[in-house]
Amino acid sequence: MQAVSYDEAAENLEAMIDKVVADRAPLAITLERGEGAVLVSASEWATIDRTLHSSRLIKVREPRIARGI
């Protein structure tokens, strides 16, 4: 995953967003101190969110299936 500093991302945010959308690849934004963040396109986030939601549903159902409910 490509990474850029916060300052670089702030100076070029629109270009960074365009690149993330065009490449369909995340971009790590680093901070000098503390935890950074990851920029992803809205469509990529929707896919990630659906996957997370599905895995949560499976975890909720597993105990019920094991009990025969």
User: What is the pLDDT tens value at each position of the chain, 69 positions in all?
Assistant: 999 999 999 999 999 999 999 999 999 999 999 899 999 999 999 999 988 877 765 665 555 555 555
Q: What are the chain's domains?
A: 2-66 (3.40.1620.10)
User: From residue 27, how far is each of 3, 5, 6, 19, 34 by CA, in Å?
Assistant: 6, 10, 11, 9, 17
Angle at 7 between CA 29 and CA 28, to 5 degrees: 10
pLDDT of residue 52: 84
SS3 content of the chain, % helix, strand, coil (to 5): 60, 15, 25
Tokens of 66: 């094991």
pLDDT of residue 62: 55
The model's pTM is: 0.72
The SS3 of residue 2 is strand
